[in-house]
Structure 1
């Protein structure tokens, strides 16, 4: 089965073709980072308009790279949520129109299930069941993945997502957007031990997370140094390192608790923040002591992309799942636990 995947949940337009026998045939991605960087964050209306401009050219490119025609596709999968409503509607509308015109089924895909399954695109893919940490600009959650579509929530951020906290902290320091890569690069020059930031909600039981307080602590630290306008490069690097260590340590502590609570021996880490080098290094140390193997998507699949949507859609379409009717609808808020379990073939 060959499935076209379309991703337009936020600020990246992704298109890919996945074949259940041959694997990923082709993919293309356009990032809107440069456009939104001027504003210090994503502007929803601009994001939606740019998806309209990019989708069809990317579609033609992907089909050409795969060496197939549109009539050789067996289905179209698209991100239906969660995400920005306008951006989601662009992808959903195009996907439903293409599927109708080609006479193939269409299937809405949960954006976070796409991230969750992205490591399964790799040669060394985990088997179910496993624990997953999904960390991105919009989400931070821990769950137990027992089977395709059977996801048991373990913990989540009660306020900001980890990636969102990175973006906001970077903005306080006068760094560029997106904040995660900017802070990570700067932290490499930081001096360990100059600042000690709190590890939120790690002094109490449970797997929920919180990153909002770290923003306030960061702002107060910058204020104590005289304000963002007078920070020198070393000040910024030291604050960046302390902030990154606090976020990473918090995530590692929560993962360790989740593995101990479930007894699982496989941990999947996905989403944009999963590309963070310090997170990977410290998770390797902590999980190694527990005998837990950690799985990541390839770096190209950490951020939003069409490949993960094509793959997730292909699994569900192959299992017989279909979307009824011709209506176009999206779910900007969509709890992952509401998905139905399917038996992948």
Structure 2
């Protein structure tokens, strides 16, 4: 038996996890960073401060599962490694380095984006080292990527990205304007279920890209005018995102037969998951989601990734 620790200190969540080579994920704890009511984010210094406070508490919670550790996986970069530096991730990277040196076990560095991909791959480990597509929709990211492998490392090629704000930013900004807590994703989803006549917000068409700034302008005007219920506004925003996904993804020449991993906080939304499943069927793609609770930021992917890297390295050395 071998166990692997995962750590992720992202822009809005501190996370740790433990993956067991025989039992799978045996522990996962996270704390969403605190954002003041009415605010739409945190500075990097505020993120670092909260991560430093949160990590010891999370390790205390999973303490009984930390034994027989063979490796550690940590998010050391935000997205592709060329993007490099973001202070929030240095907190987790530093903790991983200390544990690695203390326990005399290997440390595997991943990007936050790889962590998201691997959180879904836990359900289908057989696609490790096989090319796939990835759609990462969150508060800070709106990417569709073609992913290939080289020596156990993922290589990302942009297929589509955001021209302005992301779907996650749109949801969060609208949620805050409606008086909901930040991050607002789960609150907007609950609110939208009460809609009786969802608003129809126009969506811009941009080839091989997404644009939501125009949608936000229209929605914010609608909220200020106060002529629509919060429920209908929330549902209209989610439907607008769904239409944008259909417009762009259905027109792109994806390679049929590949897996499409769809992750990020936005992909925990039930309505949008159905939209992506429909797109996958029409494009001949096998859509793979992380379980909804592991679609948003968490460290389970890094723990699983450390297990996979360690297993392949051990196998190659024999």
Normalising by structure 1, we get a TM-score of 0.79
- Distance in 2 between residues matched to 1:117 and 1:86, nearest whole Å: 22
- Distance in 2 between residues matched to 1:81 and 1:23, nearest whole Å: 25
User: 1:239-250 alignment to 2 at 5 Å?
Assistant: 239-250=233-244
Kept after mapping to 1: 8 A contact 2:246/2:279: yes
3-state DSSP of counterpart to 1:156: strand
Q: Which runs of 5+ in 1 are unaligned?
A: 226-230, 322-342
Q: Which of 276, 289, 307 pairs up with 2:300?
A: 307
- Number of the residue aligned with 1:338: none
- Distance in 1 between residues matched to 2:272 and 2:57, nearest whole Å: 36
Kept after mapping to 2: 8 A contact 1:131/1:264: no
- Distance in 2 between residues matched to 1:101 and 1:295, nearest whole Å: 36
The more displaced of 4-13 and 269-278 is 4-13
Residues 157-185 of structure 1: CA deviation (Å, up to 9, x unaligned)? 12212111111112223333222222222
3-state DSSP of counterpart to 2:35: helix
- Distance in 2 between residues matched to 1:136 and 1:253, nearest whole Å: 19
For residue 93 of structure 1, report the CA deviation from its aligned partner: 1.6
The more displaced of 110-119 and 281-290 is 281-290
Mark the CA change 1:76 to 1:290 in structure 2 (over 3 Å): closer, same or farther.
Answer: closer
- Number of the residue aligned with 1:185: 190
- Number of the residue aligned with 2:131: 129
- Distance in 1 between residues matched to 2:248 and 2:213, nearest whole Å: 17
Q: Which of 159, 166, 175 pairs up with 1:161?
A: 166
Residues 321-345 of structure 1: CA deviation (Å, up to 9, x unaligned)? 9xxxxxxxxxxxxxxxxxxxxx9x9
Q: CA RMSD in A?
A: 2.7
1:275 aligns with 2:268: yes
Residues 100-137 of structure 1: CA deviation (Å, up to 9, x unaligned)? 12222222210001111211112697563322211011
For residue 53 of structure 1, report the CA deviation from its aligned partner: 2.0
- Number of the residue aligned with 1:293: 286
Q: Which runs of 5+ in 2 are unaligned?
A: 80-84
The more displaced of 242-251 and 307-316 is 307-316
3-state DSSP of counterpart to 1:58: helix
User: 1:64-103 alignment to 2 at 5 Å?
Assistant: 64=64, 66=65, 68-69=66-67, 72-82=68-78, 85-103=86-104
More strand by share: 2
